[in-house]
Amino acid sequence: MGVDSSRPSVAGESAEVSESRLAARDFVRSYLEDAESRLDAIPDPREAYASPTLAEALALAHERGFTTASLPSRFGGSGLSAAAQMAIVEELGQGAPGLSSHIMTCSLAATVIVAAKAHEKNSDFQDYIDDLTDPGTPVWGSAWAATEPAVGSDIFSFSTPGVCYSTRAYPDGDGYVLVGEKSRYVSNGYLADFFVVQASIGDAKDMSEAGVFLVPGNLPGVRRGEPLDKLGLRALNQSSIHFDEVKLPTAALAVPSGSGYQRFVERLTSRGNVAVGLHAIALAQRSYDIALEHVKTRVQGGKLLIEQQLVAHAMFTAYRQISAARALSRQVVARLDVGRVDPLDCYASRVQASVMAIQVVEQMVQMLGGLGITKDSPLERYYRDVKLLAIADGTVERIGLHAAQHL
């Protein structure tokens, strides 16, 4: 009944994808899941994010090329295809969704720098890429700073009058001055050494006049808030970001306002949602595997649990739900590298996966009974983690409403 998670590869995958999958699987099984559990158990998030465990996890991920997965090889990155990147997400998510989220966003800023050719216009951006790809340089990675205390899913409101970012980049001589605040939900915001910031340009009145800026985290005026203390995904640091008259060069404007900005937001959010969905599928699969082993060995009422009809039906239902969600997600992933990215399908795969995972993980906890709710059970953590995967990068309800506009 179970999917053999030790299988060498997935049928039809390229050698690149298969090798990436196996490398990620080995990493999460041999080290990363345990590291995530240790970080999760630290009550004070400030202590967790200053711990040697997190630094070691990132260093080991860097050695394996995961932190530069999306950066082209000619710039020193791993240069992996979207399919290979998503295979890594799917594997690392089986036990370490928080650290996986951090690791796989490390090269976001560098990827945007290259796409915008900002490194050709300002040497500081090239220096950042060089540092990111240097094996001897500690890596904390980048963060996408979009949402604000009063602007959440409004990032999709491209033409609604009066809806705009309060964070603003004012033209100033040969550059910009950035002022404002991003919400405390910025993933990797507490530790990131570089930010991809969405902000209003000048006196913009709506989102159609917003742009994307590249902001090094060590510039004067950049401040981070206290790390968020949250229910799950505790290994993933999140915090607010404050910009107090931060001076930026002209090259910092990576994506100007207009149709290009809208395409950037749609592309980033749709791909990000695919990754969130894969993390949800991974947690559901890991929970299922643990519960399946339990019901195949636990005797109750003189019979193995798996021999009891209600239990067998529940396990089959979980298998069916996971398989269906994975099939849709992999179908979407297969299109990412051939330029057939349909936001509707991306959002559908994420919502399907997140809703499914909450149901499955809850049911797998139920299969273990008291064992599933103890702190020494991995399912207790998965139960907390999976809830956040219905909220991250947009709640499933809001993503569904936005997706409906693409029907």
Q: 209, 226, 256: which is the final residue of a domain?
A: 256
The amino acid that residue 39 corresponds to is: L
Is the model's pLDDT at 396 over the cut of 60? yes
**pLDDT, tens digit, for every residue of 238-273?**
999 999 999 999 999 999 999 899 999 999 999 999
Name 255's Cβ contacts closer than 8 Å, sequence gap at least 6. Answer: 112, 116, 211, 212, 261, 264
Q: Which of 256, 284, 305 is the last residue of a domain?
A: 256
Quick one: 308 and 192 in the same domain?
Answer: no
In this structure, the answer to whether residues 401 and 267 fall within a common structural domain is: yes
- Looking at the structure, do residues 401 and 268 belong to the same domain, yes or no? yes
Element (H, E) at 375: none
Beta bridge partner(s), residue 249: 175
What pLDDT, in 10s, does the model give residues 80-139?
A: 999 999 999 999 999 999 999 999 999 999 999 999 999 999 999 999 999 999 988 888
Look at residue 9 in the predicted model and tell me its pLDDT: 58
- Give per-residue pLDDT as tens, 160-186: 888 999 999 999 999 999 999 999 999
Q: Are 265 and 401 members of one domain? A: yes
Do 265 and 191 belong together in one domain?
no
**In this structure, are residues 190 and 239 in contact, taking their beta carbons and an 8 Å threshold?**
yes
From 106, 133, 160, the end of a domain falls on 133
Among 154-158, 246-250, 367-371, 386-390, which is the least confidently predicted range?
Answer: 154-158
CATH number reported for the structural domain that contains residue 127 in this entry: 1.10.540.10
> pLDDT-based confidence at 296, cuts 50/70/90?
very high
Residue 377 lies in a domain: yes
> Higher confidence at residue 191 or residue 4?
191
Bridge partners, 151 (sequence order): 148
Q: CA-to-CA distance for 101 and 32, rounded, in angstroms?
A: 12
Instruction: Evaluate whether residue 1 is within a structural domain.
Output: no
Q: Which amino acid is at 251?
A: A
The widest CA-to-CA distance across the chain, in whole angstroms, is 81
Q: Report yes or no: 196 and 214 within 8 Å, Cβ to Cβ.
A: yes
Task: Read off the CATH number of the domain in which 327 is found.
Answer: 1.20.140.10
The answer as to whether 280 is a domain residue is yes
Residues 112, 170, single domain; the answer is no
Q: DSSP string of 79-138?
A: ---HHHHHHHHHHHTTT-HHHHHHHHTTTHHHHHHHHHTGGGT-HHHHHHHHHHH-TTS-
CATH of the domain at 147: 2.40.110.10
Q: What is the 3-state secondary structure (H, E, C) of 57-87?
A: HHHHHHHCCHHHCCCCHHHCCCCCCHHHHHH
How many whole angstroms separate alpha carbon 236 and alpha carbon 36? 9
How far is residue 385 from each of residues 82, 114, 358, measured CA to CA in Å?
24, 33, 10
The domain in which residue 216 lies consists of 142-256
- In this structure, are 361 and 313 located in the same domain? yes
Residue 83's identity, in one-letter code, is: A
Does the pLDDT at position 328 exceed 50? yes
Q: Is the pLDDT of residue 11 over 80?
A: no
Contact predicate 349/330, CB 8 Å = no
User: Do 200 and 243 touch, CB atoms closer than 8 A?
Assistant: no
Q: Is residue 4 very low, low, confident or very high in pLDDT (cuts 50, 70, 90)? A: very low
Same-domain pairing of 347 and 383: yes
Is residue 10 situated within a structural domain? no
Residues 384 and 270 in one domain: yes
Residue 4 lies in a domain: no
Examine the domain organization and report whether 248 and 190 are in the same domain.
yes
Question: Model-level pTM?
Answer: 0.94
CB count in 10 Å sphere of residue 153: 16
Same domain, 376 and 291: yes
**Residue 405 one-letter amino acid:** Q
Average pLDDT over residues 323-344: 92
- Total domain count, the chain: 3
> What rounded mean pLDDT belongs to the chain?
95
Give the pLDDT confidence score for residue 290 in this predicted structure: 98
The answer to whether residues 210 and 261 touch, using CB atoms and an 8 Å cutoff, is yes
Residue 387 and residue 251 share a domain: no
Residue 249 falls inside a structural domain: yes
**Of 268, 229, 279, which Cα lies nearest the Cα of 387?**
279
**Which pLDDT does position 338 carry in this prediction?**
83
Q: Is residue 9 in some structural domain?
A: no
H helical segments located in 369-407: 378-388, 396-404
